[in-house]
Amino acid sequence: MKVKTLFKTLPLACLLCAGMAIAKGPVEGTIQAYVVVQDENGKEIIQETSSAVPGQVMEYRLRFANKGESDVRGLKIVDPIPVQTIFIPDSNSTSVTSVFEVSIDGGKTFESIPVKRIETKADGTQQEVVVPPEQYTHLRWNAADTLNSNGGTQEYAYRVRVK
């Protein structure tokens, strides 16, 4: 029940964060949360939601609109992965050309997937390991396309599984 309550407030919190990140310019952002379920025939159904329970898949959709009179170039979209969720690899999508990256350090640095590290074993040998999605904290899209003036839009989405 605690997770369900958390997710009732989480989309609003994410929306506020997105708004704060772009409040100084003509770009307006929105984020919507959806739960992904399957009907009796196995067909995927996406429903808007304000809550989720462990095991459910959620999809977050971010939309940015340029209300200004000048094009915006070099847009970087950063979104924290909601607490108590795990990013689902290859679920990220966008309507524009972009480079997708993830962070494992609270959004301080970003890198492409798969994130790899060198791990030293007890015997002193080292091996390369892939950092699992459970350790991702933030997502970032570096948009190559221009966000056109006077109503141009860009859309981004990703999915997570509720812990």
Q: What is the pLDDT of residues 18-41, one digit of tens each?
A: 333 444 468 999 999 999 999 999
* All structural domains of the chain with their residue ranges: 2-162
pLDDT score, position 50: 83
Q: What is the dihedral of CA 89, 95, 98, 103, to 10 degrees?
A: -40
pLDDT in tens, 93-143: 999 999 999 999 999 999 999 999 999 999 999 999 999 999 999 999 999
Question: Torsion angle, CA of 34/37/39/41, rounded to 10 degrees?
Answer: 130
Segment 83-99 shows an average pLDDT of: 96
Residues 78, 143: Cα–Cα separation, whole Å: 11
Other residues' Cβ atoms within 10 Å of the Cβ of residue 66: 22
Express each pLDDT in 131-147 by its tens digit.
999 999 999 999 999 99
Q: pTM for this structure?
A: 0.81
C-alpha to C-alpha distance for 53 and 142, rounded to whole angstroms: 31
Statement: 2-162 belongs to CATH 3.30.420: no
* Beta-carbon contacts of residue 104 (< 8 Å; ≥ 6 apart): 115, 131, 135, 136, 137
